[in-house]
């Protein structure tokens, strides 16, 4: 039922109905209809707040009518025709709607913060794994020291191979060059493969 349909000719027989001044009863009827439409899922919170503000700003019946014109008629309950009929249920005020919107926004912000914390934790875990792999690769390759050791080893091995091929003897003398050096690098790796690393910050 249209909340303002019951006001027919209260202001006089010749005056158009929509031109009549709106009273408290008509405004409360429209607010109640909007609240029920919101609870039925027909209006969004922003639409409800906007329409309630327009209800309290309306001066005539004609200004109230478009606020419920796109809602289906109600058939399940009695129509509200007087202020006494709406006393048990206080209509939602603009302040109430603002508080509801604030609560909804707060819950959404908290959910977004929780998702951001989860993403940050996953990024930190990926970074730690990548750092550990790079650190392990660096220790395994040994940086510049190991590169120098590999170069010297290859050079001395090639020299020994050429010498052995040309009859210069097969004694593996190059091991006395690269062996102690390699043992030193291996000992350094073994002593540094578990470095102290601070845990991720909370």
pLDDT at residue 25 above 70? yes
Residue 199 lies in a domain: yes
Number of structural domains, the chain?
2
Choosing from 59, 75, 92, the residue where a domain stops is 92
pTM (2 d.p.): 0.36
Does residue 76 lie within any of the structural domains?
A: yes
Q: How far apart are CA 57 and CA 53, in angstroms?
A: 6
| pLDDT reading at 5 higher than 70 | no
Domain that holds residue 179: 142-202
Structure tokens at 58: 């309306």
pLDDT tens figures, 80-120 = 433 333 344 456 666 777 777 777 778 778 888 888 888 88
pLDDT at 9: 45
| Tens-digit pLDDT profile for residues 35-53 | 998 988 888 888 899 999 9
Q: What is the average per-residue pLDDT within 150-172?
A: 79
Q: Which residues contact 147 (CB under 8 A, 6 or more apart)?
A: 141
Residue 6 lies in a domain: no
Nearest CA to 145 out of 103, 184, 97, 92 is that of: 184
pLDDT > 70 in the chain, percent? 72
125 found inside a domain: no
Query: Is 188 a domain residue?
Result: yes
């Amino acid at each position: 039922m249209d909340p303002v349909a019951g006001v027919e000719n209260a202001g006089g027989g010749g005056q158009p109905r929509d031109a009549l001044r709106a009273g408290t009863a008509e405004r409360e009827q429209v607010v109640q209809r909007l609240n029920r439409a919101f609870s039925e899922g027909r209006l969004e919170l922003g639409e409800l707040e906007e329409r309630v503000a327009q209800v309290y700003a309306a001066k005539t019946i004609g200004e109230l009518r478009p606020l419920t014109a796109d809602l289906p008629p109600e058939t399940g309950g009695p129509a509200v025709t007087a202020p006494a009929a709406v006393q048990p249920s206080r209509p939602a005020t603009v302040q109430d709607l603002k508080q509801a919107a604030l609560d909804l926004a707060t819950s959404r912000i908290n959910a977004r913060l929780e998702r951001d914390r989860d993403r940050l934790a996953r990024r930190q875990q990926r970074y730690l794994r990548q750092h550990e792999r790079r650190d392990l690769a660096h220790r395994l390759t040994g940086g510049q020291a190991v590169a120098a050791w590999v170069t010297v080893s290859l050079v001395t091995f090639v020299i020994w191979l050429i010498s052995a091929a040309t009859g210069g003897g097969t004694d593996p003398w190059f091991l006395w060059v690269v062996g102690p050096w390699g043992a030193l690098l291996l000992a350094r790796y073994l002593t540094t493969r578990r470095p102290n690393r601070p845990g991720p910050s909370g």
